[in-house]
Structure 1
Amino acid sequence: MHSHHSHSGDYISHAYDPLEEMVQNYIDRGFDVLCLTEHMPRLDQVYLYPEEIEKGYGTKQLSDDFSKYLVHAKQVQEKYKDKIKIIVGFEIEGIDKAHLDLSAKTLQNPSVQMSVGSVHYVNKLPIDFSKELWKEAKAASEGGLTRSLYKDYFKLVSNVIDLKPQVIGHFDLIRLCQPEDDFDETTNKLTKDVRIKEDWPDVWEVIVSVIEKAGSYGAMFELNSAAIRKGWDCPYPKSDIVKAVIEYGGGRFCLSDDAHSIKQIGLNYKKTLQYLKDHGVSKLYHLDLKDGKVVTVGEAIESIEKSPFWDVY
């Protein structure tokens, strides 16, 4: 079993359990591969989350924590190398050019072996924190339209993919905090009823171009089970995006639990795997270590269903 996206309370203020305890639990639950992917530091005070402000954090503390994380991650990787393959990475934040430049520099760090490409901010506002902030990001988009917000989001994702992360993180995160009653003036529909491909062809064009770009270098799109614990009936991404990745991006999917605590490790993996099978996909991909190098491996879902993880979980 594998997860390509994880966080710990040692280095992320909105996570809970210590890094080493998280790793030990991944081992206990039958994982073969674990990617450690703490968030890269943000570069301006305006991007601090409330829990970071409460701790008295600033950008220096974020940077210091990230440096400590890379050292600790390598130590943990070595300590448990006979029990689990740990791949040290980080989660890219595609806020703007400055953050992309820092990401590009971080990717050159010899300790970094992989990355998850993500966007959490649009128009410099977090879009996955609350409905209120999501609305503010919408208001700051062209015409104050949800359609414009989506286009802005996926354009930022495109910028992140220029850095060639091996894993594309929660690709349609823009949908998470969208209010149920959000209305799209361009179609006179509730946004939840909008079919992007048919109703927003300009947005769909951006999405397809991003998927094609990621597919061109062999990127994997994570099936991120965290969406289910946050109230969705499926993992990220939703069905329209899954079908597009199959059609335009090579259909390479990998598993992630995006765990922020021990109790979230492997959570909803059975539903996530069934979701993929329901879309006619028979193979999953994952990162692996071969002679010290990170490689991408394809594995039949039938084989994954025989993992010891299912017995332990």
Structure 2
Amino acid sequence: MWDEFEEKVTRLFEFTNGRKVVIWGYQRSGWFVEHLFKRAHKQVEYIIDDGTGIMPKVNIQRSIVLQRLDRDVCAVLLTFEHDRGALELLEGLGYVEGENYIFVKKLFYGDAQGRMMSYYDWLEYKFHADISAPRTVDKLKQAHSDCLQYSVGIDYALVDVLDNFAFKENDAVFDFGCGKGGALALFRKAGVGKLGGVEYDPDLYQIGQSNLQKLNMENVSLLNTDATLLDEELDDYNYFFMYNPFLGDTFEKVICNIERSYNRRKRQIIFIYSGPYCHDLVIQNNVFKLSKEIYTDYSVRYVYIYMISE
């Protein structure tokens, strides 16, 4: 599922090998390209964007900076589609496509238009999956009033979180509010062998099942039911994940069900909770312990990691 994607990442790194990396375009695709370099512990020297305002902790340059850079030691990565003004500037300074600048989307998507740089966009482009499109509140079927709107989240932020773990083939992850299955695909990318999830909305559930088939993902079990009704089904899993799917009574019941699962089958349990609005409910029974706080690029910023140890 990810082999061709990783091959293209390798080609991107080969193009920049030994040169100053210049990312031009700092919106969603630019963030993702920066993520790829950071994840590989590679340095990005310059970020250029003529439209983005100055962002805290990010040193954004304007394209005029190219006039003082030596093109022979630079690799310019354009994260947008063809732009006449950018091409005129680069070629006027002696840059040549394929030698010292490339369009990153062209490397990954060829001539396909309208794509963003992201893990989910790659799966949609390559396998025709349906992951990123939102689902409005009025169409979303909810089990309880404290269930929240479906949101796909920022894929690379989850990958950054998962890089904190050393998953093994015999680990098993269960996703509460799994939606279309995008997070499960990233857990599989991280090396998790067994995956499961629950989604109450029947349409999202069907899309998730279809995506699993398109991605040829095996050893995955999705359930279309109320998350509060799950009990012994949880006993086969040692990791649980939530991207803020519900609050209040629903959340409390689910946490209690996980704790009962632990009492039936003692094992180390790790709970990955993005958007930890219900932190107090997680720790109220003194079963889960907060073990780690991870600052991310999710809109809710923090992901909390909890553990139950044998």
Q: What TM-score do the two structures reach when normalised by structure 2?
A: 0.27
Higher helix share: 1
Q: What TM-score do the two structures reach when normalised by structure 1?
A: 0.26
Higher relative contact order (CA 8 A, sep 6+): 1
Larger radius of gyration: 2
